[in-house]
């Protein structure tokens, strides 16, 4: 019985996530939940659903910017080396 109980508990807990946030962020989430008559968990889930694609887009944009910056820096170094000759 205890072995079965542990496996059930493990399956139930696999989808859970504990996140520590500032008091300001928590109060903002609770304020949104109250304003729109939702639970705090619903608000957090919605923020994560919306925020993950945004974060992916920002990360991809940063990657492109860094690659382009490095390429531009290399070109400028080559031009400077040619001018020094």
Domain positions in the chain are 2-84
Q: Which residues contact 33 (CB under 8 A, 6 or more apart)?
A: 39, 40, 42, 43
What's the pLDDT at 46? 96
What confidence tier does 80 reach under pLDDT thresholds 50, 70, 90? confident
Q: Is the pLDDT of residue 6 over 90?
A: no
pTM, two decimal places: 0.62
- Chain-centroid distance, C-alpha 44: 13
Q: Which position has the higher pLDDT, 73 or 79? A: 73
Q: Which residues of 18-35 are buried (b: 16+ CB within 10 A; e: fewer)?
A: eeeeeeeeeeebeebbee
Structure tokens at 64: 């492109």
pLDDT tens profile 7-65:
666 666 678 888 999 999 999 999 999 999 999 999 999 999 999 999 999 999 999 99
């Amino acid at each position: 019985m205890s072995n079965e109980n542990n496996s059930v508990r493990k399956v139930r807990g696999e989808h859970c996530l504990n996140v520590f946030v500032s008091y300001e962020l928590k109060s903002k989430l609770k304020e949104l939940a109250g304003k729109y008559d939702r639970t705090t968990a619903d608000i957090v889930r919605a923020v994560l659903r919306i925020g993950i694609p945004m974060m992916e887009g920002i990360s991809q944009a940063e990657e492109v910017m860094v690659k382009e910056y490095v390429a531009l820096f290399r070109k400028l170094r080559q031009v400077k080396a040619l001018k020094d000759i």
